[in-house]
Chain A
Amino acid sequence: MEKVIEIKNVTFSYDTKMVLKEVSLEVFKGDFIGIVGPNGSAKTTLIKLLLGILEPQQGSIQLLGQAVKSFDQWHRIGYIAQKARDINAGFPATVEEIVAANLYMQTKPFKFLNKEQREKIDEVLSIVDMVDYKKRLIGSLSGGQQQRVFIARALVNNPELIIMDEPLVGVDVASQEKFYGLMALLNKSLGITLAMVSHDIGVITDKTNKVACLGNQSLFLHDSKSFNQTDYIKQVYGEGISLLHHQH
C-alpha cells in the first residue's frame, strides 16, 4: 500500500520544552485518520511539522514518498487551518478571488482564469454551500462562513491528501453534517486521504478508520472500530492517568 504520510521517530521541542518524543505514524492511501488529544497535546504542532512550517529536531517526515524538507508538490495537498485565519477583516478580496488564488500552480502569469477553472470554483463553492456569496468580500462573512470558504479553497486543487486542523470550529451542525458527508465522498469514492484534528471524539471515531491519540509527548494509533471512547476520556481528561500507561 502506498504511504501518504510517514513519520519516523520524530522529536520536537519549542526551545527547551519537548512536546513530541520519538513519535512515529504511517498513513496509507485511502485512510481517514482522526487526530485527537487534549489541549496542548501537540496536535497543531504535528500538523505544522507535516506542512514543513516547523522542522523536527530528530527523525524524518515524508509526504507522498518525498521528504517534507524538500517537498515541492504542495498543490497535491490541501490544508485547512484551525481557525479561519485571523484574516484582516478589511482585506478587500472576494470569496471568488480567494478560492481562485489557490489555483496558482494551474494559472499562467498574464492569463485570466479559463472557463474550466471558473466552473471548478463554482463547483467547490457549491459543495460548501457558498456559491451565492461568490462576490462578497471575505471580511463581510461570519466566522463559520469564512471557514467554509477556506474548505472550498482547499478542495479547488483536487488534492490527494487533505490535512485539517479542527476545520469545523464555528461551523453550524447542519453544515458539519454536510461536511462529513462530503469527506466520506472524497475519501471513499475519490480515494483522497484525509487527516483531521478534532475534539469531537464521538463523531470522529464514527467517521474515520484510524484514530491517533496524542498526549504526554507520545502518539498511539488505534483502529476506529476498536477505539474505546470511555477509556480514552477517562485516561486523558478524567483520572489524570498518563497516556503512557494505557495498554494496547
Chain B
Amino acid sequence: MAKNLSGDLTVASANRLADGVVVFLDDKGHWTRHLEQAALARDKRASELLLARARAESFSVVDPFLVAVAEDEQGDLEPISLREKIRVSGLTFEAIAADAVRYA
C-alpha cells in the first residue's frame, strides 16, 4: 500500500472529450493516460494552481478535478479513494470477452 509521505498530494484528472478515457495533466500541460506522468501538487497552494491550469487546458477534456494521491518510497503514485483507483486501473472484474462465448 502506497504511503503518503509528504502531505496533501494531488494530481489533476478529467475524462477525454472525444472518448471519455481517464486522463491526467502532465507538467507540460498535456493530458496523458498515465498517472505516473501526472504533474504532482504537493501542497494546497500548488493544488489550486494545478486545478486552475487544468481548467485552462480543458479544451479536449470534460470537467477537470483534483484527485488525492499517495506516493510510495519509489515515487509511484496511487489514488487514495477506491473510486479513483478504479478510474486508473479499470474494471475490477473481467468483462465478457467481446467475441467469445464465455462458457461454450
- Decide if A and B are genuine partners: no
Q: Which residues of B contact A (CB under 8 A)?
A: none
